[in-house]
Structure 1
Amino acid sequence: MPGLSHVTKMFSIVDCKITALTADPVGGTPVYASSSVDVPGIKSLAISGNMQSKTLRGDNTLLDTSAYIDGVTGAAEHALLSLDALAVMLGGTVTDSGTTPAQKSVWDLTNLSAPSYFKIEGVTPPNGSSLIGGDVHVVLHKVQLSKFPELGFAGDDYRIPKFEVSAVPLASNGKWLSITFNETAVAIP
């Protein structure tokens, strides 16, 4: 019986979520927060990697070459600002107060706030892959912000928040990145 194709197109992104990594014991099982946080209005999730290549020369000739992965990075753009996503990425908590019509939601960056590790997962829409009714999920298992997110305002235009991450392999199982083809579309948990 033939299996699922290992080749697909990748069209668009329909959802992206981040989940705090709470434990990553060597040789154990990674533990993530019980709930994920939506990256609202996701526009793009780009992943790239760095390679190092070393060559061995002798006897006036190339004898060997060796390459290894030196790092994996990601970048996301999203249309809407999420205080909950900022709390996962940079630390801190979101505080809600007041009653209608004076309700407030506040996230504060303080000297005690610290970037923490999290997982990021993006998915194509159903039919965004070559699998009719299927989808493609991309997961970076352990990332941390590599630069402060781009926030703020834009004159006479929408401001598109952006963030960049650097990945490291999980201590528990060595995974950096997973790409999953689903024959039937599956929502990000």
Structure 2
Amino acid sequence: MPIQRFTKVYGISDAKIAPLTADPAGGPATYGTSIDVPGIKTFEISGDVEVKTLRGDNTKLATDSAISNIQVSVTHAKVSLDVLVAILGGAVTDSGTGTAEVARWDLKGATATMPAFKLEGVTPPNGVDLVGGDFHVILHKLKLSSFPDLGFAEEDYRIASFTADADPLLATDDWLSLVLNETAVAIA
């Protein structure tokens, strides 16, 4: 009997970004090493639909629509320098030793590359109707659509966030995948 095709979706327990390293027409697309998005809080997908209406003879004759954009908004509790490199560009350098170690992310004009990346999020096990199962959301090719929200907050934690627009892969035409697993599977 096939798996059921509907479920509740409760919580998010993990999200990872993987830099898109190749996307040739005809495939396969390849990705770099996955990077954890630390303290993932929200992973929200929205989209835009463009609607065209044909009118004539003083009446509506037809309507057609097409998806014109898919967008994701992500909030996470901790800032990751490696995530910033994957979504915005720049470079991280490590220096010092012992108690004087430093990790520094620098964004320069030449390194602000706005690279393409994949984003995958997953519910906790049992965050779906299937006991022991999970639900994955995968956006295969993203680019930032606005600068990430970073900074500080007076007497409070500062939540980091970013928004990105999706494009279909040239290699496979994959745009967005929703995967319901009968048995929970970790993000690779």
TM-score by length of 2: 0.98
The residue that corresponds to 1:154 in the other structure is 153
CA distance in structure 2 between the aligned counterparts of 1:155 and 1:74, rounded to whole angstroms: 27
The residue that corresponds to 1:16 in the other structure is 15
Deviations along 1:108-165, one digit per CA (max 9) or x if unpaired, are: 0111121100000000000001111000000000001100000000000000000000
3-state SS of paired residue (1:150): coil
Deviations along 1:50-89, one digit per CA (max 9) or x if unpaired, are: 0011111112221111010000000000000100000111
Q: Does 1:91 align with 2:89?
A: yes
The residue that corresponds to 1:129 in the other structure is 128
Partner AA of 1:105 in structure 2:
A
CA distance in structure 2 between the aligned counterparts of 1:134 and 1:159, rounded to whole angstroms: 32
Alignment of 1:45-124 (within 5 A): 45-113=43-111, 114-124=113-123
The residue that corresponds to 1:170 in the other structure is 169
The residue that corresponds to 1:7 in the other structure is 6
CA distance in structure 2 between the aligned counterparts of 1:80 and 1:151, rounded to whole angstroms: 10
Partner AA of 1:164 in structure 2:
T
Q: CA deviation at 1:93?
A: 2.2
3-state SS of paired residue (2:83): helix
TM-score by length of 1: 0.97
Q: Does 1:141 align with 2:140?
A: yes
Percent identity (aligned): 53
Partner AA of 1:89 in structure 2:
I
3-state SS of paired residue (1:147): coil
3-state SS of paired residue (2:70): strand
3-state SS of paired residue (2:84): helix
Partner AA of 1:132 in structure 2:
V
Q: CA deviation at 1:92?
A: 2.2
The residue that corresponds to 1:29 in the other structure is 28
Gaps spanning 5+ residues in structure 1: where?
Answer: none
Q: CA deviation at 1:46?
A: 0.2
Gaps spanning 5+ residues in structure 2: where?
Answer: none
